[in-house]
Structure formats: C-alpha cells, structure tokens
Amino acid sequence: MAYKDRVKPELLRIYEILLTRTKISKDAYYYFLNLKKGFDGESLFDEYTKQFKIDHLFLNDLQLEVRNSSFQIDALMISTKVLVLYEIKNFEGLYQWGKEKFTRTSGTFLENPTMQLEKTKVRLELLLLEKGYSLKVEAYVIFVNPEFTLLGAPSDANFILPSQILGHFRNVQAPAQLNAEQIKMAEMLANQHDPIYPRKNPHYNYSDLNKGIICPECGTLSKIYSGYFHSCNKREKKVNVKKAIQSSIEDFRTLFPEDKLTSSRIMDWCGCGNQKRIYRVLRNDYQMIGKNRGRYYG
C-alpha cells in the first residue's frame, strides 16, 4: 500500500512541454530520455507492488536531508521488523559486473549503483537515528527492465535481477499489522520530503515557444482551432477543446510558475482560437483575483 504516491517529476514535465513547443539541443534531449526512462522504471516497480497487493507501507520518491547532505530514495518499504530501501534501475542490455562499473562488450559502461545505494542507506540510518528510530534497514538495487542481464555479479551483492523480482515480492507478501509507531515513522518521513529541492532547469524564453493548444492524448500542437471539438491530425480523432485549453493552461503554470494567469497572456499562449472559450475556462476553473486591468486568475 502506498503511503506516499509517486508523481511525475516536475523537471520531466517541463521537458515534455518544451518538446511540444520548441526544439531543444541534442544533449538536452538525451537528458530528457534518461529522465523518462528512470520514471518509467519506477512506474514499473510500482506495478509490481500493486500486482502482489503487498500490505506493507511504501513511500515513493522521497527527497530527504540529514546533516546538510541531501539524498533521494526511489522507494522505501516499511514492515513490522525492517525497512527495505530500493534503488530502482531501468538499465537494459548485457553487462559484465565490476566493483565500480558495469561494462558492455562495446566498451561503454555504467556506474555500479551499489556505491550510491550504500550512501543512501547510511544517510537514511542517520536520519532515523536523529528522529529516535533504530529499525533495521535492508537495501537493494532492483533492476526492473526484463531486457537487462548482468554477468559475473557476486552472490552476496544486494541486487534483485529481473528474473528474481517476482520471487522477491512473493516473499514479502506475508500480512503484518503495522503498529502506531511505524505509521508515525512513515508520517515523519513523508513530512521530511522536500518537493522543491535544487535542480538544474533547462533555459527557455516565452517568446521562443510555439503557441497553441496541446492535444492531451498525443501532445500535438494546434495553432488554430474553433468550436467545441478540434480534429487532431496525428490521432485522426476529435479533441475536446475545453480539455485542451485546460491542459495548456496547466502547462503554462508549470513553465512559468511566477507569472500571473491573465486572460491576455493565456489567449496569446493558446494561439489563434476562440477567445471566449479561453475566457470561459479561466472564469469557471480558476479564482478571479483583482479587478479591471489588474485582474488575474489563481
């Protein structure tokens, strides 16, 4: 059971929006692909926990800090006797294990995630100790991609390989009643989560972005639209214009959180469409703040 649900990282959302409205550099695109692949892997992990209906508490995507050192946890399972820390990896391909790196026959390599896992485990234990908890912490790197193979890994490595995932989750299915202290600990960790931790946002300007409404299903940008429905060229289906306007407004808020939602700005952002439809969405779905020329929506 998820005590703290996983949400799509805001940085990933920013890149997804930018890809529909502008061209980004090759390096930025590869960075986006890595972000997306990581989130896809974490979502696949969540599907396993839902599939087995595990009774223990899960806290997903925690950003924590202890002694001025920040650390990130992909997933943490709280049971009656132990905490299980999961570092989720969505690697694919054939690799040879090494103490510091995994290497392919082509010569490319990946950093051995055990090094990061140990740092995260120690920092979690320090945080728990500072908060008055001494529960045992187990830590695993779990490789969720079925197309990943690792050769030569030592038998005592804290790895859960794709072929071991089902067996691992079967072993943790035993129902156990969590006590109030463990639920209190889960609440403490969730409250310690910092959703606005420092990150390197891509650089973009409003004037450089293409305007229009986005098809909520496929991301196609329409610069001209009218009526209640609009034909999406990519999907060859009708797009609900109201939903597309709502989605585009939320995209604007993601990209420009400090800017006010004014009717003139959103009409420009949504392109050459029916301005009355845009105004109606703002009036019905957002709170009007101020009057006359100083009016905006929140």
Q: What is the 3-state secondary structure (H, E, C) of 250-293?
A: HHHHHHCCCCCECHHHHHHHCCECCHHHHHHHHHHHCCEECCHH
Q: Which two tokens stand for residue 216?
A: 């909520």
The confidence score (pLDDT) of residue 149 equals 95
Encode pLDDT of 233-262 as tens digits: 665 667 788 888 899 999 999 999 999 999
In this predicted structure, the answer to whether residue 175 has a pLDDT above a threshold of 60 is: no
219: which DSSP letter? -
Task: Quote the radius of gyration of the chain (alpha carbons, Å).
Answer: 23
Residue 47: pLDDT above 60?
A: yes
Rounded CA gap, 5 and 11, in Å?
A: 17
- In the chain, % of residues over pLDDT 90: 54
Identify the pLDDT of residue 97.
94
Q: CA-to-CA distance for 18 and 13, rounded, in angstroms?
A: 9
Residue 231 has pLDDT above 80, yes or no: no
In this prediction, residue 42 has a pLDDT band, given cuts at 50, 70 and 90, of: very high
pLDDT band at 31 (very low <50, low <70, confident <90, very high): very high
pLDDT bracket for residue 160 (50, 70, 90): very high
Q: Which of 50-54, 69-73, 199-203, 275-279 has the lowest mean pLDDT?
A: 50-54
Q: Residues 6 or more apart from 213 whose CB is under 8 A from it?
A: 221, 222, 225, 230, 241, 244, 245, 247, 248, 270, 271, 273
Around Cβ 56, how many Cβ atoms within 10 Å? 21
What average pLDDT does range 200-214 have in this prediction?
90
pLDDT of residue 180: 82
Measured from the Cβ of residue 78, the count of other Cβ atoms closer than 10 Å reads: 19
pLDDT at 221: 80
pTM equals: 0.87
pLDDT at 1 over 70: no
Q: Sketch the domain layout of the chain as residue ranges.
A: 2-192, 206-297
